[in-house]
Chains A and B, each alone.
Chain A
Amino acid sequence: MVTSTHANSRAHPEGEKQLKSRPVAAAVILVAGLGAILMGLALSVSVGAADIKLASVWEAVFRFNPQLPQHQVIRELRIPRALAGAVVGACFAVAGAIMQGMTRNPLADSGLLGLNAGASVGLALAFAFAPSLSFMYIMLYCFLGAAAASILVFGIGSLSHSGLTPLRLTLAGAAVSALLLAISQGIAILFHLSQDIAFWMAGGIGGTSWTQLGVMFPWVAGALVGSMMISRSITLLSLGKDVAAGLGQRTRLVQTTGILIVVVLAGAAVSAVGPIAFVGLIIPHITRFLVGVDYRWIIPCSAVLGSVLIVFADIAARLINAPYETPLGALIAVIGVPFFIYLASKRKGGLI
């Protein structure tokens, strides 16, 4: 299964020397971040094809009048959409944080390592063979797809002599992504699902419904709680597998739990909004930069910052080229690619 890389990984540049964590900064991020999410949610509900005043948003929530179409729009379209953004932002970011911590791979992200593509295959299969399935089952298909992808990527990465170097993991992720995307494209073309799936692939949260949110919620909440429960162990793993084992940690158990959590988070998020990459890459890095190396702080702060990123990116996606919506996944990639290049070329020797 997962083996950590050698000491040449750079997930934590100062990790070996000084184990700093900054709880105060983390507390500030949590409080300010939650405030920003609330503000973003309100803004997200009021911005769109039909501009709605914040006062009407307030009324629709607290003095709902089913006779008013505007209130209907707010309740049935805008609020679920805004909430979906917040939820999947947290999912992708925490999944990325756990993967980066466990594998000590600075380039880990559910999109880059093929998990999102795996979930896409699950979804394409569900659309093609059982179009009338409820969202609950579609999500389970996505879990299975993401799990298959993670087994492929980590299996290939660890089969080789020198273990899971960041380069090897990234290449395995790219190849598995290419393979799984080809399979889902093939399914889409054969079953004439191209357009449905393409819009969903582009990463759009416009169509999220209350039912979807309701189905997702218990899974996501469980996975997030689980990630907090293993956060201390991940801090130890991020120091190196040998260190963790030396300190008496049952590393295999922690890694298996971690992967299960990542699969649930990525699968649920992809099933709702499509394969949005790079959130899980960017947010944990920024968070580590701000709060230090303790995953008990990194995980909750990543969740909050991931929510902030997606909620505001979704608002931007609606404003940039109004009245058309810019695909959210593409928008995030435009931010994420330079970030990836910066990480990949930070040191002169490359990443091997």
Chain B
Amino acid sequence: MSRIQQSSVQKKRRPRDAAILSLLAVLIVFVFIISMNTGLIRLSPIEVLHTLLGEGSPQQKLILFDFRLPRIVISLLVGAGFAVAGCILQSLSRNALAEPSTLGINAGAGLAVLIFISFVPATTAAPIFMLPLLALAGAGLTAALIYFLAYRREDGLSPTRLILIGIAVGAGIYAIQLILSLRLDPQNYQFVATWLAGKIWGGDWRFVLALLPWILILLPFTFYKARVLNVLNLGEETPAGLGMAVERERILLMAAAVALAGSCVAVSGGIGFVGLIAPHLARRIVGPRHQILLPACTLTGALLLLTADTIGRWILQPSEIPTGIVVAILGAPYFLYLLARSKA
């Protein structure tokens, strides 16, 4: 497609894209309000509104600002993070089924956090800012291992090999997690089990603070690299032909995806499938151009995870289903649907 054609297409699309993004944002606000009302103590939308404007009773303020709001913010951030990470990985590997959890990266991050919890027992007193860093180290090591095992000099990074090796490495790490978690005492075990199943850690602004810098730095960085992703998505030869430092760009973007997934795992445990579904839905709505695809992914991921978390809290009160389980039950059938439709 020539440059002139492309820009004319862009012009036509811009209002439509803006409308879609605004619609997603409106949906998020809508689910946000429902989520604020959901929980053990029910508050009417008007009460929520009053409290948000600073006119609620101390009890209402406590519930909304100290329990529900941080959790909602974390869901939004984590959903956005996983979705963008998945989008980057899908474009880089040119594999429609790639995402942080099928590639074993979530498992690696989870293992690092689990090792920390096993040896530093007081989980709530633990330095929370350490957790994203640890998860990052775990995710980075796992990604490096998978890259190393899947890379061949003859044919580079074969999408097939990448995903098969990711599945295998994930299975191995899962086994080690199992060994470690069974050695914990019952109380810590319960905590770790629900965490590994993918539970938003809930009522604490400190987790928001720990996660926020990563998202704030990495999302704009990937948006900035949108053009590079467009080109890398084309294949092995074209980008090099266009004079791009393919290997360097690929490693930078891969690192960004790993960092996003790692820091999200640190506060939310192993939530899979968001990174798979959100990019697919977004691509279906706005098309493959990353300039608009990445923002659309961000919003779709945030919307999906907030919805899943709200469903998990709402279905069987007062007990809660971890968000990761809700997402897997919704996401796996979609994965299978994609698989059945895809051509080899």
A-side residues, CB < 8 A to B, are 107, 112, 152, 156, 159-162, 165, 167-168, 170-172, 174-176, 178-179, 181-183, 185-186, 189-190, 194-195, 198-199, 201-202, 277, 324, 326-327, 329-331, 333-334, 336-338, 340-341, 344-345, 348-352
> Chain A residues with Cβ under 8 A from B160's Cβ?
167, 350-352
B189 and A167 form a contact (CB under 8 A) = no
A340 to B170, CA, bound (A): 12
Q: Does B332 contact A (CB under 8 A)?
A: yes
> Chain B residues with Cβ under 8 A from A349's Cβ?
155, 158
Q: Does B23 contact A (CB under 8 A)?
A: no
B182 and A202 form a contact (CB under 8 A) = yes
**Which residues 35-50 of B have a CB within 8 angstroms of A?**
none
Interface centre among A152, A178, A190, A199 (most CB of B within 10 A): A178
A170 to B344, CA, bound (A): 13
B336 and A176 form a contact (CB under 8 A) = yes
B167 and A174 form a contact (CB under 8 A) = yes
Q: Closest chain A residue to B199 by CB distance?
A: A189
Q: Closest chain A residue to B344 by CB distance?
A: A162
B165 and A327 form a contact (CB under 8 A) = no
Task: Of the listed stretches B123-131, B236-244, B318-326, name the one at the interface; the rest are far from the partner chain.
Answer: B318-326
Task: Of the listed stretches B114-122, B173-181, B203-211, name the one at the interface; the rest are far from the partner chain.
Answer: B173-181
Q: Closest chain B residue to A341 by CB distance?
A: B168
A334 to B164, CA, bound (A): 16
Contact check: which of A161, A181, A189, A333 meets B321 at CB < 8 Å? A189
> Chain B residues with Cβ under 8 A from A201's Cβ?
178
Contact check: which of B149, B159, B332 meets A182 at CB < 8 Å? B332
Q: In the assembled complex, how far is the CB of residue B310 from the closest CB belonging to chain A, in whole angstroms?
A: 16
A160 and B340 form a contact (CB under 8 A) = yes
> Chain B residues with Cβ under 8 A from A178's Cβ?
272-273, 328, 332, 335
Contacts A170-B164, A174-B167, A337-B169; is A189 near B197 (CB within 8 Å)? yes
> Chain B residues with Cβ under 8 A from A168's Cβ?
339, 344
Contact check: which of B164, B178, B324, B342 meets A330 at CB < 8 Å? B178
A175 and B336 form a contact (CB under 8 A) = yes
A333 and B171 form a contact (CB under 8 A) = yes
> Chain B residues with Cβ under 8 A from A198's Cβ?
181-182, 189, 193
Q: Closest chain A residue to B173 by CB distance?
A: A337
B165 and A344 form a contact (CB under 8 A) = yes
Contacts A178-B332, A195-B186; is A202 near B339 (CB within 8 Å)? no
A344 and B335 form a contact (CB under 8 A) = no
> Chain B residues with Cβ under 8 A from A160's Cβ?
339-344
B332 and A179 form a contact (CB under 8 A) = yes
> Chain B residues with Cβ under 8 A from A152's Cβ?
336
A344 and B176 form a contact (CB under 8 A) = no
A171 to B161, CA, bound (A): 12
> Chain B residues with Cβ under 8 A from A165's Cβ?
344
> Chain B residues with Cβ under 8 A from A337's Cβ?
168-169, 171-172, 175
Interface contacts (Cβ under 8 Å), in number, total: 150
Q: In the assembled complex, how far is the CB of residue A91 from the closest CB belonging to chain B, in whole angstroms?
A: 20
Q: Closest chain A residue to B327 by CB distance?
A: A182
A337 to B161, CA, bound (A): 14
B329 and A183 form a contact (CB under 8 A) = yes
For the complex of A and B, list the 4 residue pairs with the smallest distance between their C-beta atoms, beginning with the closest.
A179-B332, A182-B328, A350-B160, A333-B175
A344 to B316, CA, bound (A): 42
Interface centre among B152, B158, B178, B197 (most CB of A within 10 A): B178
A195 and B189 form a contact (CB under 8 A) = yes
Q: In the assembled complex, how far is the CB of residue B324 from the closest CB belonging to chain A, in whole angstroms?
A: 7
Q: Does B230 contact A (CB under 8 A)?
A: no
Q: In the assembled complex, how far is the CB of residue A296 from the closest CB belonging to chain B, in whole angstroms?
A: 31
Q: Closest chain B residue to A339 by CB distance?
A: B168
Q: Does B97 contact A (CB under 8 A)?
A: yes
A168 to B338, CA, bound (A): 11
Q: In the assembled complex, how far is the CB of residue B141 from the closest CB belonging to chain A, in whole angstroms?
A: 15
Contacts A170-B167, A172-B339, A182-B324; is A330 near B175 (CB within 8 Å)? yes
**Which residues 185-209 of B have a CB within 8 angstroms of A?**
186, 189-190, 193-194, 197
Q: Does B163 contact A (CB under 8 A)?
A: yes
B343 and A172 form a contact (CB under 8 A) = no
Contact check: which of A162, A172, A179, A345 meets B149 at CB < 8 Å? A345
B344 and A167 form a contact (CB under 8 A) = yes
Contact check: which of A190, A333, A336 meets B319 at CB < 8 Å? A190
Sampled A-B contacts (17; CB under 8 Å): A107-B164, A160-B339, A162-B343, A165-B344, A167-B160, A167-B163, A171-B97, A178-B328, A179-B328, A179-B333, A189-B319, A198-B189, A330-B178, A340-B164, A340-B171, A345-B164, A351-B161
A334 to B171, CA, bound (A): 9
Q: Closest chain A residue to B337 by CB distance?
A: A156
B178 and A194 form a contact (CB under 8 A) = no
A190 and B321 form a contact (CB under 8 A) = yes
> Chain A residues with Cβ under 8 A from B332's Cβ?
175-176, 178-179, 182
A333 and B342 form a contact (CB under 8 A) = no
Q: Closest chain A residue to B170 by CB distance?
A: A174
> Chain A residues with Cβ under 8 A from B181's Cβ?
198
Q: In the assembled complex, how far is the CB of residue B268 from the closest CB belonging to chain A, in whole angstroms?
A: 15
